[in-house]
Amino acid sequence: MSELDTFREEARAWIRENAPKSLWGTTGSGPFEGYWGGSKSTESDPDLLKWRDLGIEKGWIAPSWPKEYGGGGLTRAHEQIIHEELKAIGVPRPIAGQGLAMFGPVLLKYGNDAQRAEHLPKIASGELRWCQGYSEPNAGSDLANLQLKAQRDGDDFVLNGQKVWTSHADLSDWIYCLTRTDPNAPKKQMGISVILVDLNTPGITVRRIDLISGYSPFCETFFDNVRVPAKNLVGELNEGWTIAKAILEHERSSIGRSIARQPGSAERDVVARSRKHLGVEEGPIPDPLLRDEVASLGMREEAFHLTLARVEQGAESGTPGPEGSISKIVGSELKQKRFELGMKVAGIQGLGWEGPGFDEDDLQYTRDWLRSRASTIEGGSSEIQKNIVSKRVLGLPEGKK
Amino acid sequence: MSGHAAPLLLLNDEQKMLSKTAHEFVRERAPLGRLRTFRNDKDEIGFSRELWNEMAELGWLGLQIPEEYDGLGLGFFDLCVVLEESGRELMPEPFVSTLLLGAQALLLGGTEAQKNGLLPGVAAGETLVSVAYEERASRGDFHCIETVGRASRGGFEITGEKVQVLDGHLADAIIVSAATDGGAQTLFLVDPEAKGVTITRQFRIDGQTAAIVRFEGVSVEPSAVVGKLGGGAALMQSVLDRAGVGLAAQMLGASEQAFADTLEYLKEREQFGAPIGSFQALQHRAVALYTEIALLRSVVLAAARVIDDKPEDIPRLASLAKAFASETFLRVAQEAIQMHGGIGVTDEHDIGFYIKRAQATYMTFGEPSQHRRRWAELHGY
């Protein structure tokens, strides 16, 4: 038996022995599911907190980060095994979120020793929660058009401007920001720098944005003469665009994967809703056209999971490439298709916003359907992903957009 | 996958080498333009015997045939590596009839005598075996047949008509499905030279050679039964699952090549003073095709793998692979023509051959909606 096989057996045994039973089968164990940590967390589920503590003790919050930064010192292959074993029984990662999935790996690569030592251990312990400051009102798909000004003043940068779609900024402690440090650069991709900002700094205002679903994971974050120590610059001044793209690749592949959940879960979900709303407990779904659409969804879902597995099996490094774009394109469309079908089978019972005459699960489903419309927009719209694949994978010439 | 770990979807070093060798062989020796020549010449055979023999010498025809029958004893996965490459140039050589239908039927159901008698010849490129299962009235459902095999004088007497029997006009042996007593299907091995067999060559859009095969009171011995008496439908289903996956591998190769040719055209064809590939309307459609082909590759590899490693998963993944390949290849072929513009609809250009093959393969071994229905049944809805 290889060392990895032995490790898998140990990991499986440990997880099954220690993961609180109430958490089994609750998630797809993706990078954004579960307890996100941070000083503002109001999480009160004792099992989730116990699981967090066990994970920290075991060193499995960030299994592949170096031990000196609070990681487990394992290889990416080991980390993959841990995540697969969690997924096999639907238990969340002990801590999830952007700090672990996106910011940490990038700081490991582009940050300096002092920055790593300052920030990574607090992410790996769940002490601090991070969010991302990327988009602005005039920098959406055209992200490089960002204008949040960071001006050097003595030992500080002074930030002025606005970020938007700063997910969970209201619950986070720190934000990693793309800023404009050289407004006169010859290309807009030049003159951008990555700066780390403590959200408690005076001059920052965070406001929540309501979505069509009625929920609000997103915020706008305003910066009014916010002073940030110059040591919080990551990488070289004016060369932040490379880092920004690396973070985006992590984001895309993470979003694709987090949509994936368990193989077959979207199909089972629509079948269950069909049974409920059509009143057929077993046997074939009586509407052959609907059944065909559900099977189409199921087949596509399986093809998507097999493709994620194929990429995973072939991956030799921890850095996602353009395939992150492909998984995001397909994954987000699959998610929408699932909710479209789920809404279709519910008929008018899917039209409830709140109140009497609607089942709780249907009300929730309708909100989730509305939320799913963002999946082809957030993290770079499907159109932007296609531009990236067109240029970087297919090698098609750039033209007028 | 349903909660299980995904099958291994990567090629090992030997398979990578095999893929590379086959790729170069097909590109150099079997360019797609041959289809035009075979068609215009009304070529009697319809493919190249020489090429078929060369591939036998390279060991490709016997890749999956066990060593005791003079094959290499490798897996179906290895065979699919070669099939994918053969699909790139739409090779009309008898891969489907002999390797995917005939050999699979023999491997799954053949008696020792039948296997000893035919498989070494298949591996050597000397023997062609066709399976005659489709009838005018079948409409893609192999259960629907009118051909009968009546018990007679200690043996059977077969009467009926099969259509579009691939390579039927060249077959050294034909395996035919017929309803035997009680209505259940049985497969029989028939000598095409036997009394009562009439074979008429057919010409299809895709250049795959085929024939109408008529059986008029053709007598066979009990030893001609392939598999169990009355067990023909189950055997046929297993054969078609494997054949569908092998065909899907060819369809993957064909999709890859049609897309590669189209991509090249997008980069060199200029209109409005710029390569048309710089237009976003075409770029996004090209990416959509690329994505579908990436998904198709995963399902084909998975289905090929479980044929060797995990038989209980074959029905699901075989239906997945065939359905996905059908939709993807046809879409790629349609878009390939559209993106080529006017030249794409001329007979002079090769790209138009892909849509003919795409339509033919779409309809072969079950069209997508049939596979989706089966998928739904297998998933309990």
Q: How many domains does chain B have?
A: 3
Report the 10 Å Cβ neighbour count for B352.
17
Can you give the pLDDT at residue B36? 97
Instruction: Label each residue of A179-196 as H, E or C.
Output: EECCCCCCCCCCCEEEEE
Does residue B356 share a domain with residue B250?
yes
How do residues A351-375 score in pLDDT, each as one tens digit? 999 999 999 999 999 999 999 999 9
Token couple for A114: 């002092």
A251 catalytically annotated: yes
Has residue B1 got a pLDDT over 60? Answer: no
- pLDDT higher than 70, residue A320: no
- Name the residue range of residue B203's domain: 131-230
Give the pLDDT band (50/70/90) at residue A260: low
Contact A299 B323 (CB under 8 A): yes
Q: Residues A310, B10: contact at Cβ < 8 Å?
A: yes
Regarding whether B372 and B242 lie in a shared domain, the answer is yes
The first and second tokens of residue B255, run together, are: 């999709």
Q: Do B267 and A296 touch (CB under 8 A)?
A: no
Share of chain B above pLDDT 90, in %: 96
Least confident of A193-202, A241-250, A283-292: A241-250
- The yes-or-no verdict on residue B43 having pLDDT over 50 is yes
What was the ipTM of the complex prediction?
Answer: 0.95
Q: Rounded to 10 degrees, what is the CA torsion of A340, A346, A348, A353? A: -70
Residue of B nearest to A389 (CA): B287
Of B3, B375, B377, the CB nearest to A263: B3
Q: Is the pLDDT of residue A2 over 90?
A: no
What contacts B98, CB < 8 A, 6 or more positions away? B61, B122, B127, B128, B129, B130, B167
Residues B147, B226 within the same domain: yes
**Of B207, B230, B253, which residue constitutes the final position of a domain?**
B230
Give the model confidence (pLDDT) of B51-105 as tens digits: 999 999 999 999 999 999 999 999 999 999 999 999 999 999 999 999 999 999 9
Which of the listed residues B201, B230, B259 is the one where a domain comes to its end? B230
Query: Would you give the distance in Å from CA B127 to the centre of its chain?
Result: 17
CA distance A234 to A243: 9
Residue of A nearest to B380 (CA): A283
Interface test with B, best of A390, A391, A398 (most B CBs within 10 A): A390
Is the pLDDT at B256 greater than 70? The verdict is yes
Residues B224 and B240 in one domain: no
Instruction: Classify residue B5: in a domain, yes or no.
Output: no
Q: The domain A263-392 belongs to what CATH superfamily?
A: Butyryl-CoA Dehydrogenase, subunit A, domain 3 (1.20.140.10)
Tell me: do B97 and B142 sit in the same domain.
no
CATH at B269 = 1.20.140.10
The Cα–Cα gap between B295 and B291 comes to 6
Proportion of chain B in helix, strand, coil states, percent, rounded to 5: 55, 15, 30
Residue B7, domain member (yes or no): no
Q: Mind telling me how many Å the CA of B249 is from chain A's nearest CA? A: 15
- pTM, 2 dp: 0.91
Per-residue pLDDT tens for A47-56? 999 999 999 9
Indicate whether B71 and B200 sit together in one domain: no
Q: Are residues B369 and B240 in the same domain?
A: yes
Q: CATH 1.10.540.10: which residues of chain A?
A: 3-124
**B221/B284 same-domain check:** no
**Marked catalytic residue, from A136, A249, A251, A323:** A251
- Which one of B111, B127, B143 terminates a domain? B127
Q: Which residues of B touch A (CB under 8 A)?
A: 1-3, 5-6, 8-10, 263, 266-267, 274-275, 277-280, 283-284, 286-288, 290-291, 294-299, 301-302, 320, 323-324, 369, 372-373, 375-377, 379-381
Indicate whether B40 belongs to any domain. Answer: yes
Q: Which of B274, B279, B290 is opposite residue A393, by nearest beta carbon?
A: B290
Q: Which of A180, A157, A293, A173 is nearest to A238 (CA)?
A: A180
> pLDDT tens-digit profile of A134-167?
999 999 989 999 999 999 999 999 999 999 999 8
Q: Check: CATH 3.40.50.11540 for A130-238?
A: no
Q: What is the pLDDT of residue A252?
A: 77
CATH of A3-124, one of 3.40.350.10, 1.25.40.20, 1.10.540.10, 1.10.10.10: 1.10.540.10
Task: Clarify whether residues B211 and B318 are in a common domain.
Answer: no
Q: So what's the pLDDT on residue A319?
A: 56
